[in-house]
Amino acid sequence: MLFLDKMVNKKGSHVSIIVSMVLFIGFVIFLYFISQPVFMTRTDKQVVMDYLEIKLKQEIVSPVNILSISINNSYSLPEGSGSCVYISNPYSNRDFIVKDFDNNVIDSKQNSGNAEFAFSSNRNFKIYFFNSTFEHNLGEVGCGSLSGSDYSINSNLTMDLVSLDAVNNLINIYEGAYSELMTYLSIPLNNDFSFKFIYSNGTIMGPEFNDKNLNIFVKDFPIRYLDIDGSQKQGILQIIVW
């Protein structure tokens, strides 16, 4: 009897172990399946955010041409002209800002397709031509013309930077025609998005949206922009999806 009791106990213990293992494996499988939607959602939203980074950059990034020139020492302002000179704007559809080699902003203005800027003793300038709006304070009139023989081009560099005007324009489109923007950007179904642009000083600009009760996913993308004073700065394009 003792032997049979032992055999029964052994069989019972084996059954208990098997049942425990089955329950444990079932529990693991249950956790896996209930967590799959979360993992899949996070992965799907990550793909959408990376896609939106590309699409939004296409809308807000533009080439800036930086023309560095030196006015010849032999050049002097024509008699009767103002204390300013001008060159023909090679990018007539873009605004510009002028700086000296110490990065001080020089008074300037656009006039009949010409880039006019103040001129005195300094003869070295950098002119930034960009799809953005700059403040112009030049009050002089009758600027002296600079012909090709009056100055030399040191360099003409091109780089891609965020236009703050383009960011503002995208915000206006988002707030006024969101559905059309979604279609234009070819956003996948069952996805919504918003975005913010964060300046280097922490200032935030972006469309208004209510994120309450939303399961949102957020990702920051570092990006460089040209400020209104012609300085290149580091900003952040923040993309939000849900």
Query: Mind listing the pLDDT tens digit for each residue in 195-217?
Result: 999 999 999 999 987 777 678 89
pLDDT number for residue 112: 87
pLDDT number for residue 7: 46
Mean pLDDT of 50-70: 97
Q: What is the CA radius of gyration of the chain?
A: 32
Helix extents (H) in the chain = 2-60, 164-176, 178-185
pLDDT number for residue 93: 86
Query: Mind listing the pLDDT tens digit for each residue in 113-152?
Result: 899 999 988 999 999 999 999 999 898 889 999 998 999 9
CA distances from 121 to 100, 116, 148 (A): 11, 16, 20
| Sheet with 84-88: strands ordered across | 108-111, 114-118, 84-88, 144-145
Does the predicted model carry a pTM greater than 0.75?
Answer: yes
User: Which of 163, 186, 184 minimizes the C-alpha distance to 173?
Assistant: 184
